[in-house]
A and B are shown apart, each in its own frame.
Chain A
Amino acid sequence: MALLEVKNLGVRYEPRLHKPVQAVDDVSFEIAEGEFVGLIGESGSGKSTLANALLRLVERPGRISGGSIVFDGNDLATMTQDELRPYRWRDISTVFQSSMNALNPVVRVVDQFRDAIELHSDLRGDAVVDRVRQLFGMVMIEEKFLTAYPHELSGGMKQRINLALALVNKPRFVLLDEPTTGLDVVVQRSILEAVRTLQAEQKFAVLFISHDMGTVLDLSDRILVMYAGRIVEEHDSADLMRNPLHPYSKGLLGSYGDPRAQTVRITYVPGRPPDLTREHAGCLFAPRCPERIDRCLSVEPELLAVDGARVACHVAQLQAEPEDGVEVPARSAKFAGPEFVKSDDESKEALSQHAFLTLSDVSKTYRTRNGFTFSDFTAVDDVAFELRRGAVTALVGQSGSGKSTLAKLITGVEKPTAGTIMFHTREGRAIDVVGLRPGQLRDYRSKVQMVFQDPYSSLNPTKTLGYILSRPLRNFLGLSGEALKQRVEELLEKVALTPASRYRNRYAYELSGGQRQRVVIARALASNPELIVADEPISSLDVSIRAEILELLHDLVQESDVGILYITHDLLSARMLADEIIVLSQGRVVEQGRALTVIRDPSDDYTRKLLDAIPNPFDKLDRPA
């Protein structure tokens, strides 16, 4: 018998003022003692709701609407909170996503372990502290932090401590809910290593929930893929990489490319997840599915066994057991949808273009006052590089490496403490960015535009898209009337929000994350800029639609003579989009070169560390081309 058996579990949200949502629907799976199972799902797939249901932490207006959660023979779903308490943290523990807030801010770390220990064991006094010491050793945190308060620890340390806290009573099952999201790649790597080692030693069962297929595939024995509140595929992880069955799984896998290849290809899933408040017929993925057949639109597929795995897809099921008279496409491991391609030859060509923005010996020092003493912090240290028209340059570094400060210097928001920044316009005029007076900045900003990280907060929610796009057109170009309207529609069409007339009067909240980011890009294009500074434009988007935005940016560079400065912490996406990569560490440029060269043959240790930290499930396999 499995340790955890989930059968037909459903979770329903019934808010008073909105339509009810079946966030988790008919989910069944098992986890055996000591097994490491991964659960992949994108935002809105119901994975966090499922996690809350397993821990019985669903709060009103949500409730478990059906099914059972049998742990070691007892159904957790129907227990009262009092009956449940003995299981909590002794048998079942968890690590939450946000390491920042999972620890009580006014209680010393050791005391947060103490209540978890004293509630569930006979250890008291010094024995408790000894146990915590032992756990600190396991996650490699120095003992002096025993008496620290949470705010005195870094994000990575907090998450290690959360991990140690989860293991405090030697649980049999640990639920990891996005345990590394929001942490730096290098820190993320070290946390995952700790999880892997500890799990191998202590043999607790794990359900590892994440939106990032790379990290999940890397650690798990078996994978559950969740879409729109349902499990659409359950598959052994090594086999999933070779032979994914559900088109959505293929789409997710396709969003990882091999950065070392001469030509990188990544696929993306067009469209957006379904609105679960609406009635539906047939497969929920069908509207986005390139392989769909007629049956998909009318009959909802069940999760059935196919080739040693389980999949909820008519096509995959028919491929395994053909039916007369029903034609299905041939089986393929590749997602049959749109693809974004970037070749090294393009980069070579792009790098032969003329430079139009030159930074020489640029430094930026911030001074902070603490009482009567001052301390200087050098955010950017003696940086020099050039940006070219028609080329994408990626600025790569961890948080605190100075990449956002450089963006501020280039856009003229802040002035460097030393060095020069020269911008050469299309008309051949040279602008000294450092010497610009406030009045002249306006003209400069029409040439240099920003795309921000979070498309959810960078669009005014009370204005229509037409209004949002008309502002820069009025301000910078002085357009009005019919000409303005026409230009707005052109911009919407340029970012593939077609037909434009349908989008002009809509609001940002009606759009998906990918569509919103398109609007943000359209807004940046409105003033007809020469340089676009894109600060992590895809990191808050779901994996399956990231390539869509990359492709849009790529097309812009190819079609017009703009240059893009792409700021990111992610070397993989830098390789996808950029022709040249500049690696920053502690405000200094540590490596600079053609994208493929930097990836294939990094010369700096720091670059190598960043490269190693990229979760790459395909390293273990020879990936089918």
Chain B
Amino acid sequence: MRYFLRRIGFFLATLWAAVTLNFIIPRLQPGDPAEIMFKKLQGRDAELDPAKIEALRAMLGDPAGKNLWEQYWNYLGSLSRGELGLSYTYFPYDVATVIGVALPWTLVLVGTTLLISFVVGTLLGAFAAWRRNTRFDSIVTLGSTFIGTLPAFWLALLILFAFGYVLGWFPTAGGYDASTPGWNAEFIGDAIYHSILPASVLLITGPIGWILGMRNTMIMNLGEDYVRLARAKGVPDTQIALRYAARNALLPSITGLALALGSMLGGQILIEQVFDYPGLGRLTAQAIDNKDYPLLQALLLFTIVGVLLANLIADMLYGILDPRARKAQS
């Protein structure tokens, strides 16, 4: 129990530090953010109209005349209410709304493919290790090493070219077109249809890491004495493979999975760009292009929180799955 409380404590402390840094760093830049922004919007030598700057300041949620301490409290307050400022790119929508629209796309696409990749990859890796040095093992290991050397975006371009343009089987851009977003069969079908190409790229490249990682750890575990002992005990092969070798080999992969789920919130920038998919990755790319600081900052905060949360979950899971971790740190 102490282990879990400690982990939560660490999580809260890091979260606070990240949020505070996110507040401090923009304020360390010289000059008034509103003035800089004004110049950016109007051109370098624009006349500064005090009224406009005041309006911009109010819009940015940074009323002048308050000291840093008050600003900090305001910042924490608006954070907790989900007020993240206005997006320049999608003016006049606020950042929270913009992210809210993009989030489900990424969550569904990247989340689903990640989970499928993990399950498939881990199973393939475990099976390759169990059947090591057989033809199956060679094909799986060599095949995934080969695919692993191909850049994912290049693969994405190839697939887009072949199935989108040459064959014309799938749409080449967007998340949906001829339907109204909502819980209706038409839209869901449309969305799935649009997601098939990006998903296939993610499913080709996704499992590789899990396959190789699982195979190597599992081979190491198969050489352990407790596996030999299990054999000598007469434990059936499937049980040795699953309960003894795979169970122990899974531990490092769990950490990997949680971290991957966390960074998923950053989206798959390259893949979403190639397929012009309306997720967080494409949004990030747009925010960078347009110097949309509020949006970028929010996306960054979002990713940080995601990674931290994932870390917390990984630690918790590890604590449950590996009794040694609990002991070592409590």
Q: Which residues does A use to contact B, with CB under 8 Å?
A: 55, 57, 60, 81, 84-90, 92-94, 96, 98, 101-107, 115-116, 119-120, 149, 151-152
Q: How far is the CA of A154 from the CA of B94 in the complex (A)?
A: 60
| Contact residues of B between 213 and 269, Cβ < 8 Å to A | 224-226, 228-237, 239, 243-244, 247-248, 251
B135 at the interface (CB under 8 A from A): no
Asked, given contacts A102-B225, A104-B248, A105-B248, whether A149 binds B232 with beta carbons under 8 Å apart, the answer is: no
Q: Can you list 25 A-B contacts (CB < 8 A)?
A: A81-B237, A85-B236, A87-B234, A89-B232, A89-B233, A90-B234, A92-B232, A94-B229, A98-B225, A101-B224, A101-B225, A103-B226, A104-B248, A105-B226, A105-B323, A105-B324, A106-B247, A106-B321, A106-B324, A107-B243, A119-B233, A119-B235, A149-B324, A151-B323, A152-B327
B322 at the interface (CB under 8 A from A): yes
**B228: chain A residues within 8 A (beta carbon):** 57, 96, 102
A57 x B232 contact (CB < 8 A) = yes
| Contact residues of B between 20 and 75, Cβ < 8 Å to A | none
B324 x A120 contact (CB < 8 A) = no
Contact of A119 among B234, B243, B248, B322 (CB under 8 A): B234
- Least Cβ distance of B327 to chain A in Å? 6
Count of chain B residues near A, Cβ 8 A:
25
B149 at the interface (CB under 8 A from A): no
B231 x A57 contact (CB < 8 A) = yes
B80 at the interface (CB under 8 A from A): no
B133 at the interface (CB under 8 A from A): yes
Q: Tell me whether chain B's interface is mostly helix, strand or loop, or mixed.
A: helix
**A103: chain B residues within 8 A (beta carbon):** 226, 229
**B236: chain A residues within 8 A (beta carbon):** 85
Closest residue to B251 on the A side, CB-wise? A106
Q: Which residues does B use to contact A, with CB under 8 Å?
A: 133, 224-226, 228-237, 239, 243-244, 247-248, 251, 321-324, 327
**A92: chain B residues within 8 A (beta carbon):** 232
Closest residue to A91 on the B side, CB-wise? B234
B247 x A85 contact (CB < 8 A) = no
A106 x B234 contact (CB < 8 A) = no
- Least Cβ distance of A423 to chain B in Å? 40
- Least Cβ distance of B241 to chain A in Å? 13
Asked, given contacts A104-B248, A151-B324, whether A94 binds B232 with beta carbons under 8 Å apart, the answer is: yes
Closest residue to A86 on the B side, CB-wise? B234
**A149: chain B residues within 8 A (beta carbon):** 323-324, 327
Q: How far is the CA of A81 from the CA of B247 in the complex (A)?
A: 23
A104 x B226 contact (CB < 8 A) = yes
Q: How far is the CA of A94 from the CA of B231 in the complex (A)?
A: 11
Closest residue to A55 on the B side, CB-wise? B232
Closest residue to A120 on the B side, CB-wise? B234
- Least Cβ distance of B19 to chain A in Å? 25
B229 x A102 contact (CB < 8 A) = yes
- Given contacts A81-B237, A96-B225, 9 further A-B pairs with CB under 8 A are A89-B234, A94-B229, A103-B229, A104-B226, A106-B247, A106-B248, A106-B323, A115-B239, A152-B327
Closest residue to A61 on the B side, CB-wise? B133
